[in-house]
Amino acid sequence: MPMNHEEILRGGCRFFVQEKTQDRETVLNEGDFVIIPPEMNQAVFTGGEDAVTVNIILKRSTFGDSFYSLLLENDSISDFFWQMLYSKGSNRALVVRCGKDERLRSIVLDMCGEGLFCRKGAPAGGNLMMKGYVMLLFGWTLKAHQQKMEDVGSISASEAVLPVMIRYIRENYTTVTLTSVAKHFGKSEGYLSRYIRRETGKTFRFLLKEFRMKQAANMIENSTCNMEEVAAAIGYSDISCFYRNFKESFGCTP
């Protein structure tokens, strides 16, 4: 399912999130935007006939593959995206209070123009342009508005640990084990294994392989390393195991 980005270009709107006992309302003013994870029960109502909102829709898989560098930042928005990508059902949206930021407004209008251009059969490069605009949008947001972010929706203490844990696995993917992660977070291996499976729908081994294979694909594409060097760099001492996992992940050998 896709993630949504609602940008308020003119006027205002009301954003509703369904919580356990009642709906929660958040007022969005001109220039504000909200990032909404897939599967979240929510609704947006504009405040008047002249109000303009822009809905930018991104597939979860597309975001994870194309904007992976954003996840490597150590900040509120990267924590949100870790949660969104790996949680089975995140109920947490992120509101950014940008005010009348003309640069941000210009980026969104350029995205709209490019989107309309692509629909009319634009030449090759349209998708690359759109990815560039999305990266610019989030990059400028981090630079100019990082202190103006608000969580909307409910998230338990248990769920809040997930992005921290996922980032720890990602940062230490060459040497990390279930035992070392459990020790770092002060949990038993059995609890940790069940927690990861419950929150993400994936096993620890699958997550670790996913991080390693993404790094392997990046190295193969952007370095001159041979396969033995790539395998060693991402934590594989057995080259046949590396080849097997690569084929399972991408459907072909490296």
Which pLDDT value is given to residue 38?
79
Average pLDDT over residues 137-145: 86
CA-to-CA separations, 234 to 79, 196, 215, in angstroms, rounded: 23, 22, 7
Average pLDDT over residues 21-45: 83
Average pLDDT over residues 89-102: 85
Which pLDDT value is given to residue 1?
55
pLDDT band at 241 (very low <50, low <70, confident <90, very high): very high
Which pLDDT value is given to residue 231?
96
- Between these two residues, 62 and 136, which has the higher pLDDT value? 136
pLDDT band at 173 (very low <50, low <70, confident <90, very high): very high
Mean pLDDT value across the chain: 84
| Cα(3)–Cα(201) distance, integer angstroms | 18
Which pLDDT value is given to residue 123?
58
Average pLDDT over residues 52-75: 72
The per-residue pLDDT for range 96-110, each reduced to its tens digit, is 999 889 999 999 888
Least confident of 110-124, 206-220, 238-252: 110-124
Q: Which domains does the chain have, with CATH numbers?
A: 2-153 (2.60.120), 157-250 (1.10.10.60)
pLDDT of 129 over the 70 cut: yes
What is the value of pTM for the model shown?
Answer: 0.74
**Count of CB atoms situated within 10 Å of the CB of 45:** 11
- Between these two residues, 26 and 40, which has the higher pLDDT value? 26
Average pLDDT over residues 133-155: 84
Which pLDDT value is given to residue 52?
80
